[in-house]
């Protein structure tokens, strides 16, 4: 991902109920230039609440999670 030197990073929320998958996604986001991890969530309800609270630019979501899909 290429961004201008003065561009703000894209703010990312990662949500997955599987801890290993979530950790892998977090690692990828943290290493990617131009991305800033703002939250991680372990279920759908958390993801909805954190999205409303933080208004991230990008969501990386598992499509089937406890609480809400």
Q: Write down the pLDDT at residue 41.
A: 97
Please state the φ and ψ torsions of residue 57, each to the nearest 5 degrees: -80, -30
Q: Write down the pLDDT at residue 35.
A: 98
Eight-state DSSP code of residue 68: -
Query: What SS3 state is found at 21?
Result: helix
Taking 3-state DSSP, the helix, strand and coil percentages for the chain, each rounded to the nearest 5, stand at 35, 25, 40
Q: Write down the pLDDT at residue 69.
A: 72
Predicted confidence (pLDDT) per residue in 55-66, tens digit: 999 999 999 988
Predicted confidence (pLDDT) per residue in 12-40, tens digit: 999 999 999 999 999 999 999 999 999 99
DSSP letters of 34-59? TEEEEEEESSHHHHHHHHHHH--SEE
Q: Write down the pLDDT at residue 60.
A: 97
């Amino acid at each position: 991902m290429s961004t201008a030197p003065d561009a703000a990073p894209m703010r990312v929320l990662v949500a997955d109920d599987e801890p290993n998958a979530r950790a892998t996604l977090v690692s990828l986001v943290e290493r990617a230039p131009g991305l800033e991890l703002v939250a991680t969530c372990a279920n759908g309800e958390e993801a909805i609440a954190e999205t409303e609270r933080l208004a991230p630019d990008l969501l990386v979501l598992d499509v089937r999670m406890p609480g809400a899909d």
